[in-house]
Structure 1
């Protein structure tokens, strides 16, 4: 039984965790060699868990990976999860490379082996080697800019074996649309590949996780593609989910997305990670 399945059956007591208070240790900084690049990864291990699953946490526009790892400690302790929070620094990974997945450059599709999205598979393999525990359940969580990144990962480059992708409060999504160009849709890809990727995207274990109070416009993407998705992050998430449901239904495709709300939470990574609804988002 996976850690989260056990957690749910045990009444949110934690997969193998004790009822004692969390260890006060801070996330530790490690260095991962990912295709010749040194990537800082902040790691937190729940102190009283025998065999934790892996939770990868992708930070927002502020690039505060250490802070995000710290904010994930509560869910890690409750759900028996080792946290890995990689830092995508702005110098090497500007918005086009992080937020939008490094899929296009100046409107042109890049070679697949240059996409930043591919680093997620590499990070998973690094974590398995680092912990010496391959084959663990894998959960991906991204908030804001990290949510934008994971939308591109889920749409174009999802690693095999990922148990759940939680896309929390991003400014933009990849729409299941042949009209919107990559990286906001699937136009620009070879037609056969675009159709197959869209089908796989809608069948992927995706949770759209929305703060009910995330209706402001601070740092909200305002380009033409973003504006077509809705007025604010809450609106854009709801519209994207509904469009995805409709496209899957119209084509007779599997649809494995879920929509989960965090009550009384605005645009806050900490608020989402520490929400009582985080367990539901990961399930």
Structure 2
């Protein structure tokens, strides 16, 4: 009896020791490299005083040829949770995954979801946009890792999806490949008769070049068909956003259908895709799992 107790205690100690060793063997890194970690990025000169935290996972393999995905979290800016979800579900996928944390002390809600294009209704230079840091981070990641791919992909959920679809709308001449905008709360619809930020009127971007770029982009509008709560406390309600629908699923359907309608009216190529994820509400991990393969 005493012998069995000693053996049990030894096994318990051994298993705990193995678990502890596993944690040591999987440290959190503070520079880009194989494994996972966090890097504070300040190399983009126009936003040098507003650091962005890069939560990254780089698997074993040929880093030079791995696709790159930038992940934009929701209003909580919880990039760590988004990266954890990626590692839980896609650890074996040979992709460089970087969840971008725009800290709330440096980036207000509008500076995040609307890209900091305006301040007090005055247009800012494009280099000061929050959107513009993406290209700089892409160059940084390539330089630090030796990666040689020519394009990157975007995945955003909720507030992150607002960032993503507006990035696709307003940023031209980028290295973007494909983008998933999942469960956005409200949209900048490509309607030149609707006032910005709900449409393009007075945005400074109502020309055909903007529209053809947007419609020709590989934008995946991903919608959880159970994201239908009109009383969600993080959901905006005003005359303009409610004109798009009373909950996220309806607003996403409206955004896609308006994009399709306006592109046809202008005889422009429409390269968007709509993905409806059945049985899913406002769940970033479930949306990530069901849509990420559209990027690769």
TM score, norm. by length of structure 2:
0.80
Partner of 2:52: 39
Q: Flag the 1:103–1:183 CA change in 2: closer, same or farther, 3 A.
A: farther
Contact kept, 8 Å, 1:169 with 1:234, in 2: the verdict is: yes
Partner of 2:243: 228
Partner of 1:10: none
Displacement of 1:159 in angstroms is 5.1
Give RMSD over aligned pairs: 2.1
Contact kept, 8 Å, 1:156 with 1:197, in 2: the verdict is: yes
- Higher RCO (C-alpha under 8 Å, 6+ residues apart): 1
Aligned 1:198-213 pairs, distance under 5 A: 198-213=211-226
Partner of 1:112: 126
Partner of 2:227: 214
Partner of 1:19: none
Aligned 1:35-184 pairs, distance under 5 A: 35=45, 36-37=48-49, 38-48=51-61, 51-74=65-88, 76-77=90-91, 79-158=93-172, 160-184=174-198
More helix by share: 2
Displacement of 1:212 in angstroms is 1.6
**Residue 30 in structure 1 maps to residue 39 in structure 2:** yes
Contact kept, 8 Å, 2:150 with 2:175, in 1: the verdict is: no
| Separation of aligned partners in 2, 1:136 and 1:249 | 31
Contact kept, 8 Å, 1:186 with 1:198, in 2: the verdict is: no
Displacement of 1:30 in angstroms is 1.1
Displacement of 1:81 in angstroms is 1.1
| Separation of aligned partners in 1, 2:27 and 2:240 | 43
Contact kept, 8 Å, 2:60 with 2:94, in 1: the verdict is: no
TM score, norm. by length of structure 1:
0.84
**Residue 254 in structure 1 maps to residue 255 in structure 2:** no
| Separation of aligned partners in 1, 2:93 and 2:224 | 21
Q: Greater CA radius of gyration, 1 or 2?
A: 2
Q: Flag the 1:159–1:134 CA change in 2: closer, same or farther, 3 A.
A: farther
List alignment gaps of at least 5 residues for structure 2: 1-24, 29-35
